[in-house]
Amino acid sequence: MMQYRTRIKVCGLTRLEDVHATAAAGADAIGLVFYPKSARCVSLEQARVLRQAMPALADVVALFVNAEPDHVRQVIEQVQPDILQFHGDESPDYCRQFGRRYMRAFRVGGPGLDTPENVRAACLEFPDASAWLFDSYSAGYGGSGRSFDFALLDVLRADQNARPVVLAGGLNAQSVADAMARLRPYAVDVSSGVEVSPGVKSPERVAEFIAAVGQADAAARSSC
Ligand SMILES: O=C(O)c1ccccc1NCC(=O)[C@H](O)[C@H](O)COP(=O)(O)O
């Protein structure tokens, strides 16, 4: 079935002005990083302010990497994100324990995620995820600005049990159309590609990225 439009998440926001610009440009979701080793990590207090600035009908995603469950609960209680994103080595039971919608990220190209078969097997362990997010492998866990070999996801496209695919990793206004044409993801996720420096977004690059996704969707519709 042809989908009407590709959803857009902009990840790693730390500043109020970037939330305003990203929402105004038409993003469907923003991601707040709660991973202390990331340059984009936000405090609970910062996150509450950023969350409050998001308009209705646009989601706030809380991103964690192998966090203590109590930390996740604290963020849920105090920030009230719309959805959780687990970007580390979290197990299915770990992801489910919060009783919230979640996206599970897979760091493609890394250990155990380097063939189409093992990528598929890893994904199928998370049948209750609201989406499977694919990012490139990096030692720092994410936000690396690097892409990965899309052929590793080909097998998922025909899988009836596949969850909605969120494509991340090295996307920018120049590369996103080709990536969308190749994989037809449910959503795309960008961080470094719309930044001036880690955690500091460029309103122009965010707007260019969102326009490029819209143009790619329009091109796909007109070719149907
Ligand atoms: O942004 C981070 O610093 C980060 C750290 C640890 C895990 C995930 C992290 N970010 C995730 C994202 O921003 C995106 O989901 C994805 O990695 C895209 O990043 P990019 O390649 O920079 O567009």
ipTM confidence score: 0.96
Architecture of the structural domain at 7-223: Alpha-Beta Barrel (3.20)
Length of the chain: 224
Q: What is the pLDDT of residues 145-162, one digit of tens each?
A: 899 999 999 888 778 889
pLDDT at 212 over 80: yes
Confidence tier at 1 by pLDDT (50, 70, 90): low
Q: Say yes or no: CB of residue 86 within 6 Å of ligand 1.
A: no
The pLDDT value recorded for residue 2 is 58
Distance 107 CA to ligand 1 centre (A): 10
Residue nearest to atom 9 of ligand 1 (CA): 142
Ligand 1, pocket-test mutation among 10, 11, 200, most atoms within 8 A of CB: 11
Mean of the pLDDT values across residues 5-18? 98
| Helices within the chain (DSSP H only) | 16-25, 44-53, 69-79, 92-96, 116-124, 154-157, 176-183, 203-222
What are the angstrom distances between the C-alpha of 8 and each of 73, 96, 112, 166? 26, 24, 28, 9
Q: Are 85 and 103 in contact (CB under 8 A)?
A: yes
Please provide the average confidence, as pLDDT, over all residues in the chain: 95
Confidence tier at 222 by pLDDT (50, 70, 90): confident
The pLDDT value recorded for residue 3 is 62
Q: What is the pLDDT of residues 50-92, one digit of tens each?
A: 999 999 999 999 999 999 999 999 999 999 999 999 999 999 9
The pLDDT value recorded for residue 138 is 84
Q: Say yes or no: CB of residue 14 within 6 Å of ligand 1.
A: no
- Annotated catalytic residue: which of 11, 41, 95, 123? 11
The pLDDT value recorded for residue 4 is 79
Out of 1-15, 33-47, 90-104, pick the least confident.
1-15
Percent of the chain residues topping a pLDDT of 90:
87
Q: Where are the domains of the chain?
A: 7-223
CA distance 8 to 209: 9
Handedness of CA 4, 137, 86, 11 (dihedral sign): negative
Q: What is the pLDDT of residues 128-141, one digit of tens each?
A: 999 999 999 988 78
